[in-house]
A and B are shown apart, each in its own frame.
Chain A
Amino acid sequence: MSNIEIAQQDSKLHLIGLAHCGLFGISEDYEEAYLSLDQYMMKNRESTFFFRAKGDSMTPLIMEGDILVVDASLKVKSNQIAIVHLNGERLCKRILFHQEGIILVSENPRHKRIILNEGSELSLFGVVIGIARLFI
């Protein structure tokens, strides 16, 4: 639908003109917001935190300097990547729920897996739901 101007005169309606604006189907009715990366990468704005990756333990999946998008509201499932605190130290690891307990796995094979023993204190900060990386 395009602009229709209607003028009221002598209590009669006169159609003055019908103007086509641009291509068929292009009009304000179809205007939507820009696609938002915020919306795409944040399921829950209030529980999403960003971290910057440091070191090479998660390469090649996560490179040094990548922004980690972390949702603290999620419960971690086995094989997901998460930010955890192990004895007060913040780590980014793949979490495996194994029969013998929880194992923290690095993507980089040169880093050893960490098998939790009884004395270690582990708490979850949040699940890494994605990374953001700019090439330039």
Chain B
Amino acid sequence: MLVLQVVLSGLLVGGIYALVAVGLNLVFGVLRIINFAHGDYLMLGMYAAYWLWRHGVDPYVGILLVVPALALFGALTERFLIRYTLAAHAHVKIFVTLGLSIALQNLALLVFKADYLSVRVPYQTDVWQVFGLAVSVPRFVAFVAMLVASGALFLFLKKTDFGRAIRATAQDRDTARLMGINVDAVHLMTFVIGSALVGLAACLMLPIYYVFPTIGIEFVVAAFVIVVLGGLGSLHGALVGGLVIGVVEQLSGYFIDSTLRQVVYFVVFMLVLAVRPAGLFGQRGAEEIGLK
């Protein structure tokens, strides 16, 4: 029973990881950049939702404002920063988003100080008892929202013309351009979707986690692990990877030692990179596309 409870909370934590990882994976698959600042967008979203809560807006209602705000911020960074790195040297691609991450974290430190902030909402500590297992309500809400958001994204990519354009660009940027796809618009839209998804994640996480300037690091590192484990450019890979990492983290935290829980998933990460860098569900060779 106890093991089941640990696995369940692992799945719920993993759902949140997956929500962050799906956006990161999409941006990676299409733009071929590793966005180190992805977690800091999450942090900005959480501060925005926190600020709204201070002005009487419930975090779940705040989704309506935070998601568009993050989408706009994503659009601005893509248009005025990321776009100029796409054709640049490898080191420019890696370090521009790292510089953005450092700048955003320190900006948050400057504006909001290093304090740990959290909201107080009535449903925060609510727990449902299901077959003797405790299910935290805000975590369950986050999990369901993650499934809905990923399902919607999946359908968008599969069924709509713009979704097909995104997938075509992910497969081959130059050929997509030759087929008349506006690749710049695809890049912009992809980055907007990725940023909007972390905006959603931020509002859903605010009732569960404290917000502080470096909160993004923890989640973006987990998201990197998930993206690599699940497979580059594979959405369902990101979902499965998120759940696996959540369960692995909770189980190792419970049975081995809570300080070592991160070590376990980092080791998993390194082993995957060492043996099959394309990940479990990724196409073989995906890790080499677009590196030159």
Q: Do A and B bind each other?
A: no
